[in-house]
Amino acid sequence: MASKSKTSAAMATALAAATAQAIRMLQDPETRAQLVLAGSDLAQRIRLWNEDRRSAGVYSASDLPVEDLGRSSASAIPVLGQERLERRVEKLSATLDMLRPETGASGSAFLDKVYQALNQIRLSLAVAKNLPLVKRKKAHREISRMLSELETAVMDAALGNPTK
């Protein structure tokens, strides 16, 4: 059985490779164009949703009935650690799910690579969850850095900005 350090190193290498591949795919002009189009369509749908809410008289969460609010926002959003990273992964995954129907074949291939990187991040989070505190915090910082790179690359591609 491989030691934890060898497993962690292999996970970090796989995570870095998947992230790098997704970022390289984001540099493809055709993929970027498809993401820009998908982003435009998504922005239009959000505008329509906001107009529907305004016409219904709902402008903010405070306008909703108390039973619709659920638990307080302060306790609903994890600020630190494992849960926060898991939430970031799920939010990026949900964003990509919204983009998938709007992209063509090459865009779908790109999204598959991003999903692979996200799955590597999920696996890394599962491994980090059982590490001792110091090692877990170090792993969380590395996972956060990789996730930030992936989020930035997806955003840059969606906006049509060149990646750095």
Asked if residue 120 belongs to a domain, the reply is yes
pLDDT tens string 80-93: 688 899 999 998 88
Is residue 116 a contact partner of residue 18, using CB atoms and an 8 Å limit? yes
Residue 160's pLDDT is 65
Lowest-confidence pick of 36-45, 62-71, 140-149: 62-71
Asked if residue 83 belongs to a domain, the reply is no
Asked if residue 140 belongs to a domain, the reply is yes
* Total tally of structural domains belonging to the chain: 1
Which residue range forms the structural domain that includes residue 31?
Answer: 4-66+88-157
- Ordered DSSP codes for 94-149: HHHHHHGGGS-HHHHHHHHHHHHHHHHHHHHHHHHHTS-HHHHHHHHHHHHHHHHH
Asked if residue 76 belongs to a domain, the reply is no
Q: Is the pLDDT of residue 161 over 70?
A: no
Asked if residue 125 belongs to a domain, the reply is yes
Asked if residue 74 belongs to a domain, the reply is no
pLDDT tens string 5-27: 777 788 888 888 888 888 888 88
Asked if residue 71 belongs to a domain, the reply is no
Asked if residue 23 belongs to a domain, the reply is yes
